[in-house]
Amino acid sequence: MMYTLLSVLLSVSASAQDLPVCDLSSAVRSAHLITIASAPQADRAFGHTGLLLYEAQYGGDSIIYDFGNFDASDPVKVATDLILGRQVYSVAKRRMSTTIEHYGQGHGRRIELQELNLTDDQWVTLAKSLHKIHAETPDFAYNWYMPNCTTRVRDVLDDVVGGALESQHQGMSGTSPARQVLRHSTHLLPMWFGLHWGSGELSDQEISWWDAMFLPTTLATRIAASSVPTANGDQPFVVSTCVAAPGRTEPIPAEAPNHDLALWAMGLMAGLVGFGVGRTRAALAWVAAQGVAVGVFGSAALFVGAAGTFAPFWTHHNLYFANPLHLGLIAAAGVAWKSPASLLPERIALGLTGIGGLGLLMSAVSGFAERNLGLFGLMVPVIIAAAVTLRNRRTALPTR
């Protein structure tokens, strides 16, 4: 069924920010940056973006170019490609009406359009460029930071205005890739924790505003603050902003959240459980369970880092707090079960405690640039409790 622009957009109301409802009925043709708000699901946490080339003759069938297209038919392949850092994305052409209906009415996500200040010649250049990319080189190797579906849009726009965007955004942003993604994942704690764990010192280095435009909301904000050269001098790059769908958007804090106290509380509580189980065989089961939890997580983190998904992975010290060696707690519990008088189990646990302490020392030398005190507090108390539990079991044996 054919949808006209009017039938799609007149069904929405003005936003709480008093932005007008989109009405492009008076435009012959125009170009718009589309920003789709984030949502409370992992695959939608960072929002989305695209480029609309509106033409009055096509109305709601005008084309949106979307650089976020990928094959999701095989979940196993999707997960494998994500872990191994070999995701391939492509640019897709979509109808404006069906795109707005899908994301706005279907997913309930807020959609804003920013009309761009382009001449007719620039509009044609943009259209030809997008058509060529779609026809000849639609695929690209995707990276969470760059290139991604937002930086590709940024680069295409910069090319159309002769590099005017990049030249305006070389100043330092006061933020970093790590802090950007942590801000956007604060409402998804498991995702936030995984990103916090995998964000080493390199990923927390300050970047320019140009590089910070790898997320849709940052791109939209910086585009709105940009200017472009025109026959009448520099003019704002964004002519107007309107709401195409008034759906929800997840609040994004100004700073990356700090959950160190909560992580310390969780670590201390887990450690206290270890102290509470006493010297019985249940204590050994608890030690083995911690070996499974910490060791398996550390193994997975090591594998993901080694696979290259996150390039800065090797520069951080979180692996001292959880790594495959912590699986040794399982062996320690087994030895203590079979040979209660053996010193080996507690030596294994003490060795792992020492590794955690070394990680803390190395983090301190770098001024805790990785902000990982909370991660230390989550993991190391558990290992200390395991060491004490194993020692208490051995010393509780009757003497001969």
Instruction: Note the pLDDT tens digit of each residue in 203-217.
Output: 888 999 999 999 999
Mean pLDDT lowest for which of 260-264, 337-341, 344-348? 337-341
Across 277-296, average pLDDT: 86
Q: How far apart are the C-alpha atoms of 1 and 8, rounded to whole Å?
A: 12
pLDDT of residue 12: 36
d(CA 1, CA 177): 42
When pLDDT is averaged across residues 336-362 and rounded to a whole number, the result is 92
| Nearest CA-CA partner of 304 in 325, 323, 277 | 323
- Max mean pLDDT among 195-209, 253-267, 358-372 falls in 253-267
CA angle 44, 207, 179 (to 5 degrees): 45
Residue 316 pLDDT > 50: yes
Instruction: Give SS3 for 5.
Output: helix
pLDDT at residue 135 is higher than 50: yes
Q: What is the mean pLDDT of the segment spanning 64-80?
A: 84
278 within 8 A of 286, measured Cβ to Cβ: no
Q: Look at residue 366 and tell me whether its pLDDT is greater than 90.
A: no
The residues, ordered by sequence, that sit 6+ positions from 117 with a Cβ below 8 Å of its Cβ are 228, 230, 235, 236, 237, 238, 239
**Domains of the chain by range and CATH?**
5-181+209-246 (3.90.1720), 260-395 (no CATH)
The residue whose two tokens read 């990785």 is 370
pLDDT attached to residue 308: 55
User: What is the C-alpha separation between 319 and 331, in angstroms, rounded?
Assistant: 20
Grade residue 11 by pLDDT with cuts at 50, 70 and 90.
very low
Say which residue the tokens 């001449």 belong to.
119
**What gap in Å lies between CA 230 and CA 117, rounded to an integer?**
9
Confidence of residue 200 (pLDDT cuts 50, 70, 90): confident
Least confident of 55-59, 104-108, 265-269, 326-330: 104-108
The mean predicted confidence, pLDDT, of the chain is 87
Q: Classify the C-alpha dihedral 357-358-364-368 as positive or negative.
A: negative
Bridge partners (DSSP) listed for residue 228: 235
pLDDT band at 1 (very low <50, low <70, confident <90, very high): very low
CA 17, CA 192: separation in Å to the nearest integer? 28
- Mean pLDDT to the nearest integer, 141-169: 94
Entry pTM: 0.85
